[in-house]
Amino acid sequence: MGEENINMGFPIKGYDVCPDCGCADCIGAETIRELKDKGKIPEEMFANGLSLGFPLYDPRKLQKMASQALLGSTPKVSTLKVFLAICKNCKRLYVREVDLLWQEVTVQIQTQQRPQTQGFPFKLPFSKG
Ligand SMILES: [Zn+2]
């Protein structure tokens, strides 16, 4: 809808292995692998390991974006996604990658007419992590 994705130099590459001891094994990845093997979580979840998401948007514009979404337009919000790893050897937490994702706003309708405006009103489909 005419809204360009702005990459601003992302994704930013972090460390492939532990910057302290060089160990490539990380605690989270092994646990995730085991849970996937046992069918406890779907294969597509945590495809890039552990991650934290920080939604970056102007909260004053949420209402406007919600009404745009209701009208069939697809406004997007940016989320800073930080992919993390915990070294299996020395337990150091380090960053593997930082990415900026643009995700379409999905309005969750609470009543017949009204978009939800309390708290965080949008469902963000974190498809990448
Ligand atoms: Zn380490």
User: What residues form DSSP beta bridges with 98?
Assistant: 12, 82
Backbone angles phi, psi at 70, to 5 degrees: -65, -30
pLDDT of residue 28: 79
Residue given tokens 């469902």 in the structure block: 123
Query: How far apart (Å, rounded) are the C-alpha atoms in residues 62 and 39?
Result: 37
Distance 96 CA to ligand 1 centre (A): 13
106 with 69: CB under 8 angstroms? yes
Distance 95 CA to ligand 1 centre (A): 12
To the question of pTM greater than 0.75 for the whole model, the response is no
pLDDT by 10s per residue, the chain, length 129:
444 666 778 999 999 999 999 999 998 787 888 999 999 999 988 887 888 999 888 888 888 888 888 888 888 888 999 999 999 999 999 999 999 988 888 777 665 555 555 555 555 555 444
Segment 12-25, tens digit of pLDDT: 999 999 999 999 99
Distance 17 CA to ligand 1 centre (A): 8
Residue given tokens 């060089």 in the structure block: 22
E strands, the chain, are: 12-13, 50-56, 76-86, 93-104
